[in-house]
Amino acid sequence: MTGLSTRVTMIVDLVGSRRHADRVWVHRAFTDALAAVNRSVPAEQPLEPTVGDEAQARYATVEQALRSSLLLRLELPEQLDARTGIGVGPVQHLGHGAVGLLQDGPGWWAARDAINEAKARETGRDRTLRTWYVVADGVPRAPEHPDPAHVDAFLLLRDEIVSGMLPRSRRLLRGVLDGRTQADLADEEGISASAVSQNLRRSGAYAVLHAHDLLLHGTVLTPPAPGQ
């Protein structure tokens, strides 16, 4: 793997998807959500289904992967949820096989370890956890590769908040992430801009947004006033 660039690999699978009888609907909902995330977040390898209910992607930055993992959960219909492993390390693209993208290298295996860890933790006390982050052995510490302990502590709390959101709160958080105004979101939901602002505060959406900013940029953006 000498000479390969360090990248951020993401592996996704659907949570409990086999319980749904309509497999055609599950696949369509999954692929639609992946496409929506790809439109919002630039990727070196866009999210693409592989085998079963899995998908993979590769990003240049941890920020892009964290944003994608959040957007995917917000894009999926209420009946579905996604689990994500994010790994940092050298990755080799082997092309496309019969089941989709083929990747190898420490970064890919770090992502596989991360999604396995997320799944294992769900069976214990961390039942709302859906995302985990691992940096491969030998990858030097750098500002663009945040410390796993910091990121995973953030993910435990982020996923707890998102898991507890009602559908409207998820839609509003998704809209804010897209840069849409509270006035536009209010029109879509048939509520006042003030009600949008209250929902974003009470649901924990602003906490999620600010935690992302602090973790990755060291700054917190000021929430917009109602109507903006």
Q: pLDDT per position in the chain (228 positions), as tens?
A: 445 678 899 999 999 777 788 888 999 999 999 999 999 999 999 999 888 789 999 999 999 999 999 999 999 999 999 999 999 998 776 666 555 566 668 888 999 999 999 999 988 889 999 999 999 988 877 777 888 999 999 999 999 999 999 999 999 999 999 889 999 999 999 999 999 999 999 999 999 999 988 887 765 444 455 555
- Pairwise CA distance, residues 52 & 157, whole Å: 29
Torsion of CA 113, 115, 118, 122, to 10 degrees: -120
What whole-number distance in Å separates Cα of residue 68 and Cα of residue 62?
Answer: 10
pLDDT of residue 222: 47
Q: Is 121 left (phi over 0), alpha (psi -120 to 50) or beta?
A: alpha
Distances (CA, A) of 105 to 14, 87, 94, 125, 209: 24, 11, 10, 31, 32
**Secondary element (H or E) of residue 134:** strand 131-135
Antiparallel, parallel or unpaired: β 45-49 and 54-59: antiparallel
pLDDT of residue 22: 86
The pLDDT score that the predictor gives to residue 145 is 83
Give the integer Cα–Cα distance in Å for 227 and 92: 47
H or E, element range at 96: strand 92-97
Output DSSP code: residue 98. Answer: T
**Of 168, 142, 157, residue with least CA distance to 209:** 157
What is the three-class DSSP state of 86? strand
Q: Quick count: other Cβ atoms within 10 Å of Cβ 151?
A: 23
| pLDDT for position 136 | 93
In terms of DSSP H, where are the helices of the chain? 23-40, 62-75, 106-122, 148-163, 167-177, 182-189, 193-203, 205-217
